[in-house]
Structure 1
Amino acid sequence: NALTQLGYAPPAFRVREGFGEIELPIVKDFFLAKELTISGAGRVSAYGGGIGTVYSYNYGGTWLPIPGLRFRANYGRAVRAPNVSETASALTPNFAPGFQDPCRAANIGAGSTTRAANCLTDLGATILNSASFANQPTYSLPVLSGSNPNLKAETSDSWTFGTVITPGFLRGFSFSADYYNIRVNGVITSITAQQIANNCYDAATLNNPFCALFSRYKGSGTGSLGEVPGQIQGNTLIQAPLNFAKRIRKGIDTQINYSKDLSSTVNFYGNLIYTHGFKTSNFANPTDPNFEDRILSELGDPKDEFQFSADLRVGAVTFGYNLHYISPMYIGAYEDFNSLQGRDALNADYADIQKYPAITYHGFRIQWDIKQNGKNRFQFYAGVDNAFDQHPPLGTTATGSGSAIYDVRGRNFYSGFRAKF
């Protein structure tokens, strides 16, 4: 905010970039190779500060063995450099309420199998067994919140494989399906002071980035802010973003288009887009990089979703219909109801209703185009969305949820007019 950043001038942020791309037709009009093309592109970006030089690139190809059948594949490496607020904003005083020292007697056995040994290595038996340290209460730890100048760029690797079918015997029809696999590494994530302290001692050794974010008072008597020997010193723990999380998303996108002239004045057009998810997961446990938090089928990330639209044009009037289907989703975390990675379900029976039901929305539209001198000049339209007044599911609390994916307005009407001059 303006008060805590008053007088702070971030360092200059300079970026230099260069890029290029190429497309090479390899084969054309050969047997089982009507077309074979490869392509590639690259970008190099040199950032000031600790980010350094990063590279993004992609390469792929298309193969048309016979007319109407095309295969395509692509690999891409993308980067997201941290922004100035993540690397160069001032550290500001803050508090971590409810903080509990992971090495105190009540908590030392609650973490990983390495916590006790790491606490002993860092503090020694004398401090660990002292009454003043072992009996530390829960308290608000003074901390510093801000940026991390040592952040690196996030990187993603994506693979896509697909096909496009446009059969000659069915004019106006096209079908495409693409498999995608996207992995994002080094995701910049902010964690709490409690997580920083816990992760320091739950790691395999003390040589980890979390232990470098705070200091302990190891003198005699009390510290400058009243710390007892062994206690984390006030205003030394830095709550700053770190590169440690990972995200994975896999699925398939399908699209079907069909258009046909039924007569000289009647035309039809239809479109279907379908998405099926195979995997959507976050990996944000810094002490166990392979610990999976499944997102697929949780609220906001349905496993299946499709949208269909159709237009029938009769002369100057077009009648339209659209449908949107959202598959069922869990009311809580996937891990609450299902085992994952050999871990038992966390709370399989906490709710009688485990999923929000599937939802389908319907909409209708009518449009009238008026021509002048052979060109569309005026357009009147009216329609209704969520025509059957489908309400969002209420969930277990009867208060509703998921406004980001469900329609919360109910049936709504609209109309309008456009003119071209």
Structure 2
Amino acid sequence: MKPYIRRRLLASTLLISAAALSTPAYAQVAEATETAPDAQQAPEAQVGEDIVITGSRIARPDLEVASPVNVIGSEEIALRQPNTAEDLLRELPSVRPNLGPAVNNGSDGSAAVDLRGIGANRTLVILDGRRIVPFGLDGVVDLNVIPTGLVERVDVVTGGASSVYGADAVAGVVNFITKRNFSGIQASGNYRVSELGDAVQYRGDLLVGANLDDGRGNVVLGLGYANRKAVLATSRKIAEIPIGSGTGTFLGSTGSVPAIFQSSLATTTNPNGLPTTGLGAVIDPATGSFRAATQADTFNTNLGTYFLTPLEQYNVYASGRYEVADNIEVYATGMFTRNKAELALASSGTFGNAYDLPLNNPYLPTTARNQLCAANGISVADCNAAAAVNTGTARTVRVIPSRRFAEYGPRGNPIESTMFQVQAGIRGDIVEGLKFDVSAQYGETNQNQARINWGSSSKVQQALLAYRNAAGQLVCSNTANGCVPLNVFGANGSITPDQIAFIDLDAQIRRLVSQKVITGSINGDLFNLTSPFANSPIAFSIGAEYRKLTASATPDAPSQIQGEVLGTGARTPPDFGTYDVREAFGEIIIPLIEDNFLYRASIEAGVRYSDYSTTGGSTTWKAGGTIEPIQGFKFRGMYQKAVRSPNIQELFQSPVQGLSNLLVDPCAGAAPTASRTLCEGTGAPAGTYGGISQPSSNQINVTTSGNPNLDVERATTYTLGAVIAPRFIPRFSLTVDYFNIKIRDLISAPSQNDILNGCYSTTLNPSQTLNGFCSLIRRNPLTGSLNGAGETPGVILGSSNLGRLQTAGIDVGFNYAIPLGNSELRLGFNGTWLDYYRIQATPLSIFRECKSYYSTSCTNARPEYKWNARASYDFGVPDVSLLWNHISKVRLEDIRPASLGLNDPGPGNTATAYNGILPQFRQVKSYDYFDLNVRFDVSDEFEFGLLVENLFDKKPPLLGNGVAGTAFNNGNTMPTIYDVIGRAYTISGKLKF
């Protein structure tokens, strides 16, 4: 952004802020309700105007469901100006941030929603009450496919909805409701930019609709385009360099320039070996000899990485309906989305891969060669003789050079995905008061993920087997493929473009997910039966559904070879899985009392029987009700038993190596805290103890895999609440709901901390004997570290049904509109108090309390209090609104003996360790963000707005790299929770006619 434009925007912001802050800091946010707004507005809907009440399949507008439903209405959507659907949900108090634009290392390019923080795979995302084809093998829907410009409102059911929609709705349902019966043309767009002139996002949407045949039908077409530009981590001061959470200073990667060599022969056992520290050895360019590496020799891994990942999106959505006979209607929808996301990591390299190096390699300095010979027990005479060989038959030594290919540029990871879904059906009246709906849908997600600038390990090996021939030329022993000798010993720039071109390798992975759904249901009045104390008849719904889900991952040939694609650490195996499920469901709502000795009372129940091809039959059910003694004072409750079957990834994923954060390896360094017996018993070769490297870039290898023997997990959930909307206070509502979720037979894996501490900690393993946790640790067989390629599984995170999870809390919603002359002050509040969040992966793991904690086990922080509050005031022109987002303080999880039970602090439950994290990184104070919106209704046809996010330019907390999981602890902070972009401006406009 040009400086003078920025100054003008800032001046305008300050003026508007002064006016807005004179009003109370509350506002209309997600509105808590028990019926859908459409239902309240259209008591007698026609055939083509189906009432969508999220949380129930009974389409009768006079009924109220007992589950809490939060509604993000059209006004709130207009105020937030979302670029994607994820922007609408990320800050909701009931949502824990998941994959999205703030996740770079560990993302797959998608965006997901995680209600209650119990896993995105336990939150069901639907569109107009219908399922959406998932993005990947885990069955999770990518929010980037939602046609944001067509969304009228979003209903969020947080009381569980498994009996209505399926068992994967354990935490609840997010239902995006599109504009229906639209007639006319509407064009809208927005443009966002940070105060620093980056983080550009823009979106444009066109909506065209028409009524047919005097209202017998309607067609709608929506077109949308969105673009989000990347923000480099190093563009923000907090992430200019990686900071060690245990040192507070620069902590780079041992994959560096010049190469840092890992030696399997420690100086304590071989005085003539390479001079190593916990980092390794590096060749001094001045002397040509190895010296002990220091932190100054490590590499800045924040270079080239993203704080905000780029995304380009095209979407098309069409729907149509037509009444072919009285009260009989056919309908169809179709949607297509094309997304291009991109992830980026620091430059590729050899990253601890082991290679054979000929002693006559022309790039190997003489002094360093002599040191290598001594470290490998080769005499000086034999060493000199091998160096003099001018053919490709010289003696070789095994070396582990961690050379970063900075000359390559950052590793690119573009991910292109296309999704299409079509649906057709027929609905109508069987008789008066009894409706039917039969539909079929099919959808596919195609994902092509490329790895650009990663490199080939086999070609590195080929290029290292080089020598200078009798003619003085540098040549490879194997000249196939146009081999060019590679110099891994020099400084940045010593690897030439032709050397890079030879080792270059771009890999591809394709994923395909398809979903078929056939659904039929009947709902309406149950033979006009009524309670003796009510006038409204009993309502019911029955139906059946068939679903088939198939998912596959097909990597190219190089990706399937162990360690061939540099920077991946392991191979990517092909995966395939499929299952189908046949379900029958039923639901009933019984109005018990209406305007009798109580104002209103009703009960409801629902049941769903599912027969999965993978896990067999299971039953999910719910029971609840509402009682309103006097009008405006209602109490509600819902109890649910949910049975979730494992998804394709949980069942069929092949073992895959990835990375996770670890600051200190107990077996690493000159004075390991773990015993020699345990370190060698978990795979460290004899002789390496005392010379094992600390984790490269604070990251270690972890191996995850599916388990075909998994069974279902079983959840018990309930909500109890009240809705206060007294008639003597017009336009006022207050909702309070307690939620409680317990899951047993949880599909889970022990955390890496559970495993490492369970094996090595003298507190948790006082006898220091090899135990079950130790069997899940497999170290590098050459160096003893937890880094390496395919030969180093690292920490094994296997899934089982041995876990349990418990969480509870209270949601509070408040809305109040106060008329002030010709204007109106609108106040709203939506908050969640988290009582506890406890998870135990296996009976031997800690029963971990993650409320208010962050760590590599709890990963992203779960604050105790989180709320949104909005105050809006209509000045006539403009309309001003201030949003307040609050996140309570959080702190680092500490380690305590398992005998103390929960790791939550209490009397006598004193912390024993923080894994070496410095005190300043062990807590984050509470955070408050304010967003200011000003809207101008220029005319009935045109609306213009200005949004200022992070009004006071609040900076994120500095935590270093090592306090939480890799995906969420990026750039020395946690960018999915705390804003790293800074103050940003959005201008928006809408034209309709």
- After TM superposition, the score normalised by the length of structure 1 is 0.71
CA shift in 2, pair 1:311/1:105, >3 Å: closer
CA shift in 2, pair 1:341/1:156, >3 Å: farther
Q: Which residue of 1 aligns with 2:586?
A: 20
Q: 1:164 aligns with which of 723, 728, 737?
A: 723
Are positions 1:304 and 2:862 aligned together? no
Q: Please give the per-residue CA displacement for 1:226-253, whole angstroms capped at 9, x wherever unaligned.
A: xxxxxxxxx9xx9742111211111111
Deviation at 1:281, TM superposition (A): 1.6
Summarize the alignment of residues 4-403 of structure 1 with structure 2, pairs less than 5 Å apart. Answer: 4=560, 10=576, 13-31=579-597, 33-49=598-614, 51-89=615-653, 106-107=677-678, 138=684, 146-191=705-750, 240-263=798-821, 265-287=822-844, 291-299=846-854, 300-330=861-891, 332-333=892-893, 335=895, 339=905, 343-347=909-913, 351=919, 354-371=922-939, 376-395=940-959, 400-403=972-975
The answer (yes or no) to whether the contact 1:298–1:334 under 8 Å persists in 2 is no
CA shift in 2, pair 1:355/1:24, >3 Å: same
Partners of 1:335 and 1:413 in 2: how far apart?
43
The answer (yes or no) to whether the contact 2:894–2:912 under 8 Å persists in 1 is no
Deviation at 1:339, TM superposition (A): 3.5
CA shift in 2, pair 1:351/1:43, >3 Å: same
Paired AA for residue 981 in structure 2: R
CA shift in 2, pair 1:377/1:155, >3 Å: farther
Q: Which residue of 2 aligns with 1:410?
A: 982
Q: Which runs of 5+ in 2 are unaligned?
A: 1-553, 561-570, 659-664, 668-674, 687-701, 765-771, 777-792, 855-860, 897-902, 964-970
Paired AA for residue 407 in structure 1: D
The answer (yes or no) to whether the contact 1:351–1:396 under 8 Å persists in 2 is no
Deviation at 1:92, TM superposition (A): 8.1
CA shift in 2, pair 1:296/1:334, >3 Å: farther
Paired AA for residue 622 in structure 2: N
**Residues 7-16 or 385-394, more deviating:** 7-16
CA shift in 2, pair 1:35/1:6, >3 Å: same
The answer (yes or no) to whether the contact 1:26–1:38 under 8 Å persists in 2 is yes
Partners of 1:309 and 1:144 in 2: how far apart?
45
Partners of 1:135 and 1:415 in 2: how far apart?
61
The answer (yes or no) to whether the contact 1:75–1:159 under 8 Å persists in 2 is yes
Partners of 2:735 and 2:813 in 1: how far apart?
5
Paired AA for residue 262 in structure 1: L
Deviation at 1:294, TM superposition (A): 1.1
Q: Which runs of 5+ in 1 are unaligned?
A: 111-133, 203-209, 215-234
CA shift in 2, pair 1:144/1:350, >3 Å: closer
Partners of 1:256 and 1:318 in 2: how far apart?
21
Q: Please give the per-residue CA displacement for 1:63-83, whole angstroms capped at 9, x wherever unaligned.
A: 001111100011112233212
Partners of 1:406 and 1:136 in 2: how far apart?
38
Paired AA for residue 244 in structure 1: L
The answer (yes or no) to whether the contact 2:745–2:803 under 8 Å persists in 1 is yes
Deviation at 1:362, TM superposition (A): 1.3
Q: Please give the per-residue CA displacement for 1:163-191, whole angstroms capped at 9, x wherever unaligned.
A: 11112221111111111111122222245
Paired AA for residue 590 in structure 2: L
Paired AA for residue 344 in structure 1: T
Paired AA for residue 815 in structure 2: N
Percent of residue pairs bearing the same amino acid type: 25
CA shift in 2, pair 1:29/1:335, >3 Å: farther
The answer (yes or no) to whether the contact 1:159–1:182 under 8 Å persists in 2 is yes
**Residues 166-175 or 82-91, more deviating:** 82-91
Partners of 2:632 and 2:721 in 1: how far apart?
14
Deviation at 1:10, TM superposition (A): 4.8
Q: Please give the per-residue CA displacement for 1:328-373, whole angstroms capped at 9, x wherever unaligned.
A: 111x2155796359643123796266421111111211101133xx
Partners of 2:744 and 2:806 in 1: how far apart?
9
Partners of 1:149 and 1:273 in 2: how far apart?
41
CA shift in 2, pair 1:251/1:12, >3 Å: closer
Partners of 2:728 and 2:681 in 1: how far apart?
81
Partners of 2:816 and 2:722 in 1: how far apart?
17
Paired AA for residue 186 in structure 1: D
Partners of 1:363 and 1:254 in 2: how far apart?
21
The answer (yes or no) to whether the contact 1:151–1:242 under 8 Å persists in 2 is yes
Partners of 1:138 and 1:7 in 2: how far apart?
27
CA shift in 2, pair 1:341/1:147, >3 Å: farther
Q: Which residue of 1 aligns with 2:308?
A: none
Paired AA for residue 65 in structure 1: P
Q: Which residue of 2 aligns with 1:229?
A: none
Paired AA for residue 279 in structure 1: Y
- After TM superposition, the score normalised by the length of structure 2 is 0.32
Partners of 1:324 and 1:48 in 2: how far apart?
45
Secondary structure in 1 aligned to 2:938? Answer: strand
CA RMSD of aligned residues (A): 4.0
Partners of 2:574 and 2:928 in 1: how far apart?
52
Secondary structure in 2 aligned to 1:30? Answer: coil
Partners of 1:81 and 1:278 in 2: how far apart?
28
Higher alpha-carbon Rg: 2
* Number of equivalenced pairs: 346
CA shift in 2, pair 1:181/1:48, >3 Å: same
Deviation at 1:285, TM superposition (A): 3.5
The answer (yes or no) to whether the contact 1:87–1:148 under 8 Å persists in 2 is yes
CA shift in 2, pair 1:174/1:334, >3 Å: farther
Partners of 2:840 and 2:881 in 1: how far apart?
43
Q: Please give the per-residue CA displacement for 1:303-336, whole angstroms capped at 9, x wherever unaligned.
A: 1122110111132421111111111111x21557
Deviation at 1:404, TM superposition (A): 1.2
Tell me which of the two structures has the higher relative contact order, counting C-alpha pairs closer than 8 angstroms and 6 or more residues apart.
Answer: 2
Paired AA for residue 985 in structure 2: F
**Residues 7-16 or 239-248, more deviating:** 7-16
Deviation at 1:412, TM superposition (A): 0.9
Secondary structure in 2 aligned to 1:402? Answer: coil
Partners of 1:396 and 1:91 in 2: how far apart?
30
The answer (yes or no) to whether the contact 1:338–1:345 under 8 Å persists in 2 is no
Secondary structure in 2 aligned to 1:106? Answer: helix
Deviation at 1:413, TM superposition (A): 1.0
